[in-house]
Chains A and B, each alone.
Chain A
Amino acid sequence: MLSILRTLWDVFLHAFHKRVTIQYPEQKAYLAARYRGRIILARDPDGGERCVACYLCAAACPVDCIALEATEDPTGRRYPAWFRINFSRCIYCGFCEEACPTYAIQLTPDMEMSEYRRQDMVYEKEDLLIAGPGKYPGYNFWRVAGVQIGGKDKGEAEREDPPVDLQSLMP
């Protein structure tokens, strides 16, 4: 009996508590830096595309919402000819980001992507690409990879020794 009265009083006191609601459209909720929202494609610090079109993200995606096609520029540098993410299917699990070997695909703390038409939820490569390097500012895959591309020969990558001349007898 007393506990009922105490409950009533305690609940009544909540009238003077601060309300926890965030009035959303006017007032934004805090989203952590690692929040898994809209997916972007990042660029290298020098402005080139990071994505090497390895298809690992598409393979990792549990709902098959990522589609892309690889191509190569004349200097041998791989990149996606087109890259498409169907956000009406995406579950924002972040597996693509984990699978990506070049930090190209990243999830961002943005979830305001409502559209009136379903087709508008399909983002193409130009919608996905951003200007900067995203979460990994100093990283440049093509500068550390041992692959030979235009403007960077074998042995010219960072922390890479020049190739050994197997024909030479000199040490």
Chain B
Amino acid sequence: MTRLLSPHPIWALLGILFFALNIAAFLIWYERRLLALWQDRYGPNRVGPFGLLQPVADAVKMFFKEDWVPPFADRWPFIGAPAIVAATVLLGFAVVPFTSGIVITDLDIGLLFFLAMSSLGVYSVVIGGWASNNKYALLGGMRAAAQMLSYEVFMGLAVMGTVILAGSFSLGDIVAAQQRTIWYVVPQFLGFVLFLIAGAAETRRLPFDLPEAESELVAGFHSEYSGMKFGLFFVGEYLGVTLISCLITVLFLGGWGGPGLPGLVWFLIKMFGFISFFILLRAALPRPRFDQLMAWGWKLMLPLALANLLVTGAVVLAVH
């Protein structure tokens, strides 16, 4: 079922792994600098040139923290939970076509695979919150589960418009279809906006960070985590942001397509544009109340996504 596009799949795999993990580390610095820029500050600018070595300093600090498992915690789920989030998001990268040659595996059901992996990621949060044996962590985990259920639904529906237009679940085919016709951000603008919002909720980033909500729940599901296990949750979150940005680029902005520059450069430009937009969301918007979040998801976003799907299907049927 799978076909490997790259002539050296193992190099593509290692390269993408290296790229994704480094981007995730670099995003720590990037986010702090960008937030600072929008708050009229400088952010970390002391460690190395422009503070670029800040993630290294952070990592060194994390490694030297005590790797502690609370005596009241459920030991093995507690240790396993951070690995799940990082592993599922990294698996999600397997189907992202960076350029025409660089993709680990262009599954026929690549989009479904991505949706499945991003849904599995919530297990990490729920298990982590449950295993912590701490009421704040449990509340965070429960919120994560509820939020993920609500936003997963219309996330999947929002991208079905692009699937109808492209006629394929394969991400490579979707990009190819966009290069033949038009970037799907134009005919699928509503789907694009819905997917953007669902993506922010999916990665549990502000303004959808209710699972951690530090002003209400200490640190939510990772209240009890420290050291590198906490670091892995963080890496998972930044990997998630990167993955969602990649997916938006692939699904709605024509992937690596663009005039002049090489494909990979175009892909990175678009991806970083969306990462910056997610950071802008964090810089600008307050966190909604939980019932507002749920009401938004079920009463506004879901009907909009359904209507979008219906109209897209009708139009495509009418045209054919």
Contact = CB atoms under 8 A, between A and B. Distances in A.
A and B part of one assembly: yes
A17 to B, nearest CB: 5
A99 B264 CA distance: 72
Given A14-B37, A15-B37, A8 B42 contact: no
B41 interface: yes
Contacts of B283: 11
Interface string B158-197: 0000000000000000000000000000000000000000
Contacts of B41: 19-21
B4 interface: no
Interface string B31-43: 0000001111110
Contacts of A15: 37-38
B21 interface: no
Interface in A1-30: 4, 7-8, 10-12, 14-15, 17-21, 23
B117 interface: no
B38 A21 contact: no
A140 to B, nearest CB: 49
Contact of B280 (A8, A17, A19): A8
Interface in B11-44: 37-42
B42 A14 contact: no
B268 interface: no
A12 B38 contact: yes
B281 interface: yes
Interface in B31-88: 37-42
A20 B40 contact: yes
Contacts, number: 33
A11 B40 contact: no
Interface footprint category on A: 10 to 19
B42 A12 contact: no
B280 A11 contact: yes
B1 interface: no
Given A11-B280, A12-B280, A4 B40 contact: no
Interface in B259-280: 280
B311 interface: no
A12 B280 CA distance: 7
Interface in A77-99: none
B38 A8 contact: no
Nearest to B42: A21
Nearest to B282: A11
Interface of B: 37-42, 280-281, 283-285
Given A8-B281, A19-B41, 9 more contacts: A11-B283, A12-B284, A14-B38, A14-B39, A14-B40, A15-B37, A19-B37, A19-B40, A21-B40
Q: Which are the 9 A-B pairs with shortest beta-carbon distances?
A: A11-B284, A14-B38, A7-B284, A8-B284, A21-B42, A20-B40, A19-B40, A21-B41, A11-B38
